[in-house]
Amino acid sequence: MISALVGAPFYLPAFVGFWTFDFFNFRLADPAWLLALLLIPAVVWLRGRRAVPVLLVPFASAWHRPSRVSPSRWPAGLTGLGLILVIVALARPQRVEDKREIHSQGYDIMLAIDLSGSMQAEDFEKGGERLNRLQAIKPVIQAFITQRPNDRIGIVVFSGRAYTLAPLTFDHDWLARQVERLKIGLIEDGTAIGDGLGLALTRLEQAAREQNGLRKGAFAVLLTDGANNRGALTPMQSAAVAKGRGIPVYTIGAGRDGLVPFPVFDQSGKKVGYTRMASDLDQSMLIEIANLTGGSAYRADDSKTIASAFKAIDRAQKIEFQAKSFLLTTELFPWVAVPGVVSLLLAALVAGTASWRVSGAARRAKSGDLNTPPATTPRPPVSL
C-alpha cells in the first residue's frame, strides 16, 4: 500500500493523507478532500430555503437576490465551478510517471541505552570541555542511526526501570530527534541493565524471522557503564536468553577506571562544583556478556569502536525486508487550482457588476418617481 508522503494542508481528520485513489496513470494523493464536494449542493439547498440571503459561501448572496432586475446566473455558475476545482486541487491530483519496487536487505538492531545517575560522571573530554558518559556515547548512537540506513533500528532506555523509546523502524530521522531529547533523570534512578537488555531482546522477537528457534539478522547493542544494581533480571540472565535465541550482544562501556569527577548540583539543578568518586564501570561483566552471546565488547573512548562494531555486524547474514514501493509523480495541483481561483475572482467581479447595476436601476427608478408630478383628481362641475 502506498500512502501519501505529504499530509493535507489545513486541519483535517486524522485519516486524510493516509489513503489514495488511483485511476489509470492518475491518482489523488488526498482523496478525502472530495467529501467537501457534498457541501456544495447542501449550501444551494439551504440558500433556496432562506428568504434573506446569507453569505454561506463566496458571493452566494448574488445567487438569489430579490430585485426588480433579473440577476445573472454567471456568479452562481462561476462560484460553483471555482469551488469544485479548488476542492479537487486540494485532493492533490498527480500524474504517475513511473512505479518502482525496491527490495532491501539489512539487520534489526535494538539499542539499549543507560540513563542512570552514574552516567553523569564527567570522565570524558572534548575540546577542553568535560563530557558526561551519556554525552560520550551519543555519537556512537547517532552513528548507528545515520550510517546504517538499510537497517531497522529501535531504542530501549533504562535506569531503575526499562522502557521502549522506539520500536524497530526505518524512520531514522525521527529516531535521531528522539535521541537528542534523551537526558539523565527521565526515569527513576538505578541501573537495571538486565531488564534493559531483556526488553531489547523482547522487541527483537519475530517468529517469521526465526529458523530452528534462532533469530536471524538481529543484534542488541548495550551502551552502559556496566554497574547493575536494580531490576528483576541480572545482566547474565538476559545474556543467557540472548544466547538461546541466537542474538549477539555488542557492549559499549562508557567510563574510565579509578576516581572520576562527578558533578554536584544545588536544589535548583544548577551545577555548583565537582566531587571525586570511584568509577563504577564494570567492563569485565560487559566482556562476559559479549563473549557468551557471540558479540564483542568495546569502549566508548576508543576511536575504532564504531568501525569495529559495524564490521562485526556486517559479517552476519542479512535479512530481506518487505519491498518498498516508490512513485515518480508530477503534481497537477496548479493546473486545477489556478482555474478554480480565477473562476472565483470572475464570480466576484460579475456579482459586483450585477449588484452595481441593480443599485443603479433602483436609484433611477426612485429618481423617476420623485420627478413625476402627482396626479390630480378632476373636480366635479359646480352648478349655479
Instruction: Looking at the chain, list the stretches that DSSP marks H as alpha helix, in order from N- to C-terminal side.
Output: 39-48, 74-90, 133-147, 172-180, 193-203, 235-245, 283-293, 305-314, 333-371
Classify domain 105-321 at the CATH topology level. Answer: Rossmann fold (3.40.50)
Q: Would you say residue 361 has pLDDT above 80?
A: no
pLDDT mean over 321-345: 78
Cell numbers describing residue 263: 558533578
Give the pLDDT score at 249. 95
pLDDT mean over 287-297: 93
Give the pLDDT score at 357. 66
Choose the weakest-confidence range: 90-104, 216-230, 348-362. 348-362
**pLDDT grade, residue 22 (50/70/90)?**
low
Please give the torsion angle defined by the CA atoms of residues 147, 145, 229 and 192, in that order, rounded to the nearest 10 degrees. Answer: -140
Which one-letter amino acid corresponds to residue 162? Answer: A
Give domain limits for the chain.
Answer: 21-99+330-361, 105-321
- pTM for the model stands at 0.59
Instruction: Kindly give, in sequence order, each residue whose CB lies less than 8 Å from that of residue 82, ignoring residues fewer than 6 positions away.
Output: 58, 340, 341, 342, 343, 344, 346, 347
Give the pLDDT score at 352. 73
Whether the Cβ atoms of residue 53 and residue 64 lie closer than 8 Å to each other: yes
Report the distance separating Cα 266 and Cα 252, nearest Å: 31
